[in-house]
Structure 1
Amino acid sequence: MKVKKFTGKDMAEVMEKIRADLGQNAVILNSKQVEAGGFLGFFTKKNMEVTAAIDPEISTSRPFKRPAAKPAPVTGKKSDTDAQTLSISREIEELKSMVEKIKLPAENYPPQLEEYNQLFIDQEVEDFYRLKIMKKLLEKWYRHEGDNKTREQLDKWVSEELLSLLPEEGFGSFKYEKKYLNVVGPTGVGKTTTLAKMAAKAVLKDNKKVAFITTDTFRIAAIEQLKTYAKILDVPLEVAYSANDFNKALKHFKDYDLILVDSAGRNFRNSLYVDQLNKIIDFNKEMETHLVLAMTSKYRDMKKILEQFQLIAVDKLIFSKLDETDTLGALINIMADCQTGASYLTTGQNVPDDIEEAVPERVIERLLRR
């Protein structure tokens, strides 16, 4: 463990010295203002003094070669060997203690930044992404030391770092570039209601000729629910029990602008679910597939769902039930993990309302205002 003190006129200058000497993996142990120079106690200048440390074994920025261990002298006495073993054990324990002590100050942030750190924790932003953002914010903070950092300025910095985690494209509503829009996802996430909202927009706002196909033959209630929406919107509905039925429905609706496909919802832990979808639905180049994830689900469950749907090319995500939770961190985590954009956010059961286009800036604004 290498520990060293650095001084400079401000924190930015000290940080540059630490990076140059110890590398990017250095950890700040302590910082304080000290007075330097002057004459007889007058005309002194305030400098920053920072104590930093680095473990050469884990540093990636400054390669470290461990010196060859010197062989212990052979004395023939067991007591000498025991003493050496005890000494080595003490040194290891001291190093462990030092490592444990330097872990805590690594997350000490200025009060204004600590507010954002706590927000990320409360919103359940994954630690890997949270610490990555906070590191960038801390660098900007000391780079602009002495500047007036308003809430608007800090929000701008945070938004920039959150945006850098998300995919650069793939956001926004369905653009009718393809004829078939398939909505998939586990049971209970609100697929059918979301599909009805999308159909209402296509019919009422975009004046499109729309039709429904449902492959959800496992729940009678699901078919009846979609029939109700189809009747209200005055659009036809076909039920596909097999791949043959599905292909017949496609031919029947060949003159329509948009065919919305409602797939069966199943337990996402059932690996046969995606295989069954592949047997019924023809995932061709004319089809766009959106995966619905409920914000009431756990982040680790969302990751499992994504794993199950790897056999299907998911073009975009839809996040439902935003009105039923106070935490939005999983939304950021998932999109950062899979680098797939989102098309819609749903915020209730009302059709055709309670749905909005997913825009990265709005998503981030929602998280910051929680």
Structure 2
Amino acid sequence: MLVRVFEADTMTAALKKVKEALGPDALILSTRTVRKNGLGMFRKPICEITAAIDDPAEAGRAAGTPQPESPGGPQAAVPPVNLATRADAEAPEDTLTYQDLWRQRRVIDPLEEEVRELKQQVNGNGLAAVRSEIDELKAMLSQLARTHVPAETASPAAPVDIPRPASRSGAEVQEMALLQGTLARLGISGEAAAQLEQFAWEQLSPRQLADPQRIEEFLAGAVAQLIRVTGPLQSRPGRQRCIALVGPTGVGKTTTIAKIAAGQRMAGLQRIALLTIDTYRIAAVEQLKVYGEIMGLPVEVILNPEQLQQALLRHADKDLILIDTAGRSPRDEASLAELELFLGPERGTENCLVLSATTRDLELRETVRRFGRLPLHSLIFTKLDECEQCGTLLNIAVQQRLPLSFLTNGQRVPEDLLVAEPGAIAQFITGAQ
């Protein structure tokens, strides 16, 4: 087989060259448009065709090359090697043999297959799954370490979570079936589910474990015990509170800022200022300014960390400063590093991570981990009105050891803002509200 590359200004001209050189029986292997001679996008593109023919003698006859007769008669064909050699001499850069292409593919094909497999692993969130498993292993090791602390040295403030026994009998597992099914229905899993099962095993009798109503009553109280909250947002005399809301895009940070500000105004707090460093989203500044005008609060736009420091000094007389930020992808390390310049530890802000309750636990854990480069003060969950299950509130709060400060369950300002309170959160999670 003879393989050659042809170039021309147009596809028609290139095909004509193929026909003249290899004849009408030539096989077109590939076509593409290329630019050469280092002129890049300013050079006119040319058409390149890679073509082949099985019998090199046919290419010679198509090009008008005289075919010498062999001693055997006029029908004897010229040996293919002579034509291939002549073609190489005429166009050494454009001529490839089938053997050359085969040797190249034997090397390239395995490499391409490995690259495809790596891309599939990355696109399938393989790295996130591995990190999640590592986090779970760390939590298990932490629990095991606590069980080996002598009773006389244990801290009274130590967490009450105790790991489940390593094994249970078949009858014991059957007794826990109703509780485990209820936890799965509520979306409670992982470390939180393990702690609730241990509480139930210690506090409930086998008969109570088989009673659905007793299980619901138990969960309402046990979930409230596991939830940590920051308490109501109250101004402290002589000390300003500066709260910044951070988080992924689309979780409702700006609306939540407005709800918090409106709620504080209704509670009698007058000296409030609104700052925004969200200069990326269209109309974000205008949206916050509208809320500020309605509530009679000053609104400032911040472009860099120096301006933020100056704005905090200007509003040193305010009791509460609320800072809105642009949504950042948890996987955008550059954006998170920029956000850290605004709200790093030296700034002294209370950074609240805003999360959507409709997001899967795996993505929520990864979001908390990546935003953890900031000093996080608490979690705010939004869109509870869009959830069928609210167990994720407990799952993330227990695993990440972060308190909850606010919940939102609608778009109304400020009605759909709830101060995080253990009993109310337990009702959301267990469906008792």
Aligned to 2:233: 174
Aligned to 1:162: 223
Percentage of pairs with the same residue: 28
1:215 to 1:146, Cα distance in 2 relative to 1, 3 A? closer
Deviation at 1:149, TM superposition (A): 6.5
Q: How far, CA to CA, are the matches of 1:235 and 1:252 in structure 2?
A: 14
Aligned to 2:126: none
> Which deviates the most, 226-235 or 274-283?
274-283
Paired residue secondary structure (2:413): coil
Paired residue secondary structure (1:362): helix
Paired residue secondary structure (2:170): strand
1:119 to 1:256, Cα distance in 2 relative to 1, 3 A? same
Deviation at 1:255, TM superposition (A): 1.8
Aligned to 2:352: 290
1:241 to 1:25, Cα distance in 2 relative to 1, 3 A? closer
1:129 to 1:224, Cα distance in 2 relative to 1, 3 A? same
1:305 to 1:150, Cα distance in 2 relative to 1, 3 A? closer
Aligned to 2:185: 122
Q: How far, CA to CA, are the matches of 1:265 and 1:322 in structure 2?
A: 19
- The answer (yes or no) to whether the contact 1:179–1:286 under 8 Å persists in 2 is no
Query: Unaligned stretches of 5+ in structure 1?
Result: 1-22, 31-105
Deviation at 1:228, TM superposition (A): 1.0
Which structure would you say has the larger RCO, counting Cα contacts within 8 Å and 6 or more residues apart? 1
Aligned to 1:27: 168
Superposed, 1:128-147 pairs within 5 Å as: 128-142=191-205
Q: How far, CA to CA, are the matches of 1:283 and 1:263 in structure 2?
A: 16
Deviation at 1:286, TM superposition (A): 4.4
Q: How far, CA to CA, are the matches of 1:366 and 1:228 in structure 2?
A: 32
Higher helix fraction: Structure 1 or Structure 2?
A: 2
1:161 to 1:279, Cα distance in 2 relative to 1, 3 A? same
Deviation at 1:287, TM superposition (A): 2.2
Count residues in correspondence: 266
1:109 aligns with 2:172: no
1:132 to 1:252, Cα distance in 2 relative to 1, 3 A? closer
Paired residue secondary structure (1:315): strand
Q: How far, CA to CA, are the matches of 1:25 and 1:328 in structure 2?
A: 28
Deviation at 1:119, TM superposition (A): 2.8
- The answer (yes or no) to whether the contact 1:172–1:344 under 8 Å persists in 2 is no
Deviation at 1:136, TM superposition (A): 3.4
> Which deviates the most, 328-337 or 243-252?
243-252
Q: How far, CA to CA, are the matches of 1:297 and 1:26 in structure 2?
A: 33
Deviation at 1:284, TM superposition (A): 4.1
Aligned to 2:128: none
1:283 to 1:136, Cα distance in 2 relative to 1, 3 A? closer
Q: How far, CA to CA, are the matches of 1:183 and 1:210 in structure 2?
A: 15
Aligned to 1:95: none
Deviation at 1:161, TM superposition (A): 3.2
Q: How far, CA to CA, are the matches of 2:289 and 2:195 in structure 1?
A: 48
What is the one-letter code of the residue matched to 1:29?
A: G
Query: Unaligned stretches of 5+ in structure 2?
Result: 1-163
1:182-212 Cα deviation digits (max 9, x unpaired): 1111110000000000010122222321111
RMSD after superposition? 2.6
Q: How far, CA to CA, are the matches of 2:186 and 2:210 in structure 1?
A: 27
Structure number with greater Rg is: 2
